[in-house]
């Protein structure tokens, strides 16, 4: 686990969920990895009490769950902290509505709700027990040099580490992306995601809800185990500011009313947290000796809950491409990086078109009839509804 060497096959820069998953996936292919993370890499402590739930949760698609199982992380999640989304109700800001059901698709769940703490701890444990990974954390890179056969990172303690390939998994404001001269910056949506957890009066029965609200962004309620939900309200910045300033009872009343009282009275159990939202689309996610994954490679609106799922898709694809390309004898070969970029271009573009398109569609008052009519039309045609849901699952 401590670095004993300086020349690696791959340096993964950034130990968020995507970087952790990538380091584990590559190590499983016997690719020698150095994982550099500026913060400490640690498992979270056990929850303090029964109402201690992380307000940051992810809707993990069945496809991502399969990938996480393959890298040995999914098995580490505790069943009692997981909730299955079995049904999903999406409502427009008029009379549009659409529902999805796992049963109709022949799946156990449309997605699994997993806390950030749980998933991070599972992936950290997987990295810790993997061979072929050296963890350098906390560790801050200060410079990167690009050679024709390797990338070389200098760390703030004076050490340097090199590899055939450097992978930027360092988030939406990626340092390495800028260092590589990829200067495109994320575009702010003017919306902030407010997240918080509540206990509920009526059981959710595995149902998730989403409301596209007239001038108030997108409100989602995701099921947690027991009589609890996690809220993600992607609200215009000014409204988000108002929401986080409310006291617990006022916030619960406001959120319950915005959700049409669908689950009865709500009681706040974790204080709200706010995340500014941005969109990022790059002309290319690779350059000489560099590949980008996760939020460093693309920014999507969380309304479809697909950001980290896209990142796991990048990770699974990159690991598969590098493993299959072993006979070339150079994991940083341009041919392999181009193959990775080609394979990811379609899924990322499709998700960005859908999520960004929906945000725009629901921003314009003039399009209210069109969007609600569109929802009704899709809802009425079962095969179209199934195709939409299937693509999100995988």
Ligand X SMILES: Cc1cc2nc3c(=O)[nH]c(=O)nc-3n(C[C@H](O)[C@H](O)[C@H](O)COP(=O)(O)OP(=O)(O)OC[C@H]3O[C@@H](n4cnc5c(N)ncnc54)[C@H](O)[C@@H]3O)c2cc1C
For the segment 93-132, give every residue that binds ligand X (CB under 6 A).
none
Region near ligand X per CB under 6 A, out of 33-41, 118-126, 370-378, 382-390? 33-41
Nearest approach, Cβ of 115 to ligand X (angstroms)?
Answer: 11
Q: Binding marks (x or -) toward ligand X, 218..247, rule CB under 6 A?
A: --------------x---------------
Nearest approach, Cβ of 171 to ligand X (angstroms)?
Answer: 3
Q: Residue 356 phi/psi, 5° resolution?
A: -65, -40
E strands, the chain, are 7-13, 33-36, 57-60, 83-85, 87-91, 97-101, 111-115, 133-136, 141-146, 151-155, 160-168, 187-200, 207-213, 217-224, 228-236, 266-281, 286-287, 290-292, 298-299
Tell me if 186 contacts ligand X by CB under 6 A.
Answer: no
The CA angle 349-300-190, to the nearest 5 degrees, is 130
d(CA 215, CA 261): 19
Element (H, E) at 20: helix 17-28
Q: Do 270 and 53 contact (CB within 8 A), yes or no?
A: yes
Residue 9 vs 295, nearer CB to ligand X: 295
Nearest approach, Cβ of 193 to ligand X (angstroms)?
Answer: 3
Q: Do 11 and 137 contact (CB within 8 A), yes or no?
A: no
For the segment 41-100, give every residue that binds ligand X (CB under 6 A).
58-59
Among 15, 96, 259, 313, binds ligand X (CB under 6 A): 15
Edge to edge, what strands does the sheet with 87-91 contain? 97-101, 87-91, 207-213, 217-224, 228-236, 187-200, 266-281, 298-299
Among 92, 96, 259, 307, binds ligand X (CB under 6 A): 307
Tell me if 270 contacts ligand X by CB under 6 A.
Answer: no
Region near ligand X per CB under 6 A, out of 78-86, 306-314, 325-333, 338-346? 306-314
Among 72, 96, 141, 332, binds ligand X (CB under 6 A): 141
Residue 194 vs 269, nearer CB to ligand X: 194
The sign of the dihedral angle between the CA atoms of 355, 360, 365, 367 is negative
Residue 300 vs 337, nearer CB to ligand X: 300
Residue 272 vs 372, nearer CB to ligand X: 272
Tell me if 195 contacts ligand X by CB under 6 A.
Answer: yes
Among 9, 10, 12, 16, binds ligand X (CB under 6 A): 16
d(CA 139, CA 53): 29
Tell me if 193 contacts ligand X by CB under 6 A.
Answer: yes
Tell me if 341 contacts ligand X by CB under 6 A.
Answer: no
Residue 303 vs 372, nearer CB to ligand X: 303
Nearest approach, Cβ of 209 to ligand X (angstroms)?
Answer: 14
Tell me if 26 contacts ligand X by CB under 6 A.
Answer: no
Q: 3-state class of 274 per DSSP?
A: strand
Q: 3-state class of 284 per DSSP?
A: coil
d(CA 196, CA 173): 24
The sign of the dihedral angle between the CA atoms of 84, 307, 135, 319 is positive
Nearest approach, Cβ of 288 to ligand X (angstroms)?
Answer: 20
Q: Residue 172 phi/psi, 5° resolution?
A: -65, -30
Residue 190 vs 374, nearer CB to ligand X: 190
d(CA 327, CA 40): 36
Tell me if 313 contacts ligand X by CB under 6 A.
Answer: no
**Could you say which DSSP state residue 262 is in?**
T
Nearest approach, Cβ of 307 to ligand X (angstroms)?
Answer: 3
Q: Under the rule (CB under 6 A), what is the footprint of ligand X? A: 13-19, 36-39, 58-59, 140-141, 169-171, 175, 193, 195, 232, 275, 294-295, 302, 305-309, 311
């Amino acid at each position: 686990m401590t670095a004993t060497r300086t020349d690696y096959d791959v340096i993964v820069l950034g130990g968020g969920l995507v970087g952790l998953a990538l380091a584990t996936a590559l190590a499983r292919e016997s690719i020698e990895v150095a994982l550099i993370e500026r913060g400490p890499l640690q498992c979270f402590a056990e929850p303090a009490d029964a109402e201690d739930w992380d307000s940051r949760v992810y809707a993990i698609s069945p496809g991502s769950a399969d990938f996480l199982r393959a890298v040995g992380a999914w098995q580490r999640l505790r069943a009692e902290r997981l909730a299955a989304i079995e049904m999903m109700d999406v409502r427009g800001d008029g009379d549009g509505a659409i529902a999805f059901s796992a049963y109709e698709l022949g799946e156990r769940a449309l997605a699994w709700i997993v806390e950030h703490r749980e998933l991070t701890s599972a992936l950290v444990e997987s990295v810790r027990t993997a061979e072929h990974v050296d963890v350098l954390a906390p560790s801050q890179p200060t410079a990167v040099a690009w050679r024709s056969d390797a990338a070389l990172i200098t760390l703030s303690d004076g050490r340097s580490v090199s590899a055939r390939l450097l992978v930027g998994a360092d988030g939406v404001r990626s340092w390495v992306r800028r260092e590589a001269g990829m200067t495109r910056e994320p575009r702010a949506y003017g919306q902030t995601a407010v997240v918080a957890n509540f206990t509920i009066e009526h059981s959710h029965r595995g149902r998730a809800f989403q409301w596209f609200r007239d001038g108030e962004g997108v409100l989602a309620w995701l099921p947690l185990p027991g009589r609890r939900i996690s809220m993600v309200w992607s609200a215009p910045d000014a409204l988000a500011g108002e929401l986080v300033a409310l006291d617990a009872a006022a916030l619960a009343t406001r959120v319950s009313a915005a959700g049409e009282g669908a689950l009865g009275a709500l009681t706040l159990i974790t204080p709200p947290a706010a995340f500014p939202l941005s969109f990022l689309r790059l002309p290319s996610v690779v350059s000489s000796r560099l590949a980008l994954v996760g939020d460093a490679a693309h920014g999507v609106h969380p309304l479809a809950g697909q950001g980290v799922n896209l990142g796991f898709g990048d990770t699974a694809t990159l690991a598969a491409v590098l493993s299959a390309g072993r006979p070339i004898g150079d994991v940083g070969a341009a041919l392999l990086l181009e193959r990775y970029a080609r394979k990811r271009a379609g899924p990322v573009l499709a998700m960005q078109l859908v999520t960004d398109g929906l945000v725009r569609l629901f921003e314009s008052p003039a399009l209210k009839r069109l969007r609600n009519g569109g929802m009704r039309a899709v809802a009425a045609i079962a095969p179209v509804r199934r195709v939409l849901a299937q693509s999100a699952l995988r």
